[in-house]
Each structure stands twice: as structure tokens, then as C-alpha cells.
């Protein structure tokens, strides 16, 4: 067996939290992740933070990608982060956020534990490489 075939598959949940109804970006990143060899689960639209937390824990994902364009990132993302911490899942889940996140709001999200923020125009390969390099090792 070659080293490539022994490499594990990275499991990702792409989540649309809150009332944000714009999901084109979530679909684009889901497809790019799938094409990169990741296993991808898409939450669908209008998910509550608790639903995202439960799905992250139950699906035992390596990566949670939160796509948010509604401007509610300072309210919704901290709720997701707190829930992951409460379930003991924060340390072994890479959390990335994509969407319209103003520069002045990014430090607070990073302080909450978000690992990276990707805005519009970020090359897909940059996001894929970040996930490959930073996804937590399975125990």
C-alpha cells in the first residue's frame, strides 16, 4: 500500500448558520473540497448554531467551515464556538469562516477560536492548502 492510499480522508462540514440565504459560496467551496479529496457534508440553509454544533459533534468532522454573508457573524460564530467548547470538540476541530467579514471584526472572531477567515476572492487552492496543513490528526 502506498503512502498516498494510507492517507486519511479529511471530513468537513460546510455550514450556513442563521437567516443567511445566500449559499452559492458554500456550494462552490463544498465542490472544491470534494474535488480535493475531502469528505464533505453540507448543512443546508438557515441552521441554528445548536444544529451546527450537534452536526459537528455527531458527524465527528475534522473541519467546520462556516459560510456567512448576513452580517451576523459577531453573534452567531461565537455561539457556535462556545457550543463546540462545551462539547469538548473545539480542540480537535479546525474552524474556518468564509464570507463577508469586515477587517475590523476579524480579530474578535480569531480570539473566539476561529482558525482562519477567508473572504471573497480567496483562491480555492489557498483554502484547500490551509485545511490540508491544519486539519487535526485523528485520534
Write b or e for each residue in 43-63: b if 16 or more Cβ atoms lie within 10 A of its Cβ, otherwise e. Answer: beeebebeebbebbbeeebbb
How much is the pTM? Answer: 0.92
Mean pLDDT over 57-71 rounds to 94
| Per-residue pLDDT tens digits for 27-44 | 999 999 999 999 999 999
Q: Are 45 and 21 in contact (CB under 8 A)?
A: yes
Average pLDDT for the chain: 92
Residue 139: predicted pLDDT: 56
Residue 1: predicted pLDDT: 38
Q: Which CATH architecture has domain 11-134?
A: 3-Layer(aba) Sandwich (3.40)
Share above pLDDT 70 across residues of the chain, in percent, rounded to a whole number: 94
| Per-residue pLDDT tens digits for 82-131 | 999 999 999 999 999 999 999 999 999 999 999 999 999 999 999 999 99
Domain layout of the chain by residue ranges? 11-134
Amino acid at each position: 500500500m502506498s503512502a498516498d492510499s494510507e492517507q486519511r480522508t479529511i471530513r468537513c462540514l460546510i455550514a450556513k448558520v442563521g437567516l443567511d440565504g445566500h449559499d452559492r459560496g458554500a456550494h462552490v467551496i463544498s465542490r472544491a473540497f470534494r474535488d480535493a479529496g475531502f469528505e464533505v457534508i453540507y448543512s443546508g440553509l438557515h441552521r441554528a448554531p445548536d444544529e451546527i454544533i450537534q452536526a459537528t459533534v455527531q458527524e465527528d468532522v475534522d473541519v467546520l467551515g462556516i459560510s456567512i454573508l448576513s452580517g451576523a457573524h459577531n453573534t452567531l460564530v461565537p455561539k457556535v464556538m462556545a457550543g463546540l467548547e462545551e462539547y469538548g470538540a473545539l480542540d480537535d476541530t479546525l474552524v474556518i469562516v468564509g464570507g463577508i467579514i469586515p477587517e475590523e471584526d476579524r480579530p474578535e472572531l480569531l480570539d473566539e477560536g476561529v482558525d482562519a477567515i477567508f473572504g471573497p476572492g480567496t483562491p480555492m487552492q489557498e483554502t484547500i492548502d490551509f485545511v490540508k496543513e491544519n486539519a487535526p490528526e485523528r485520534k
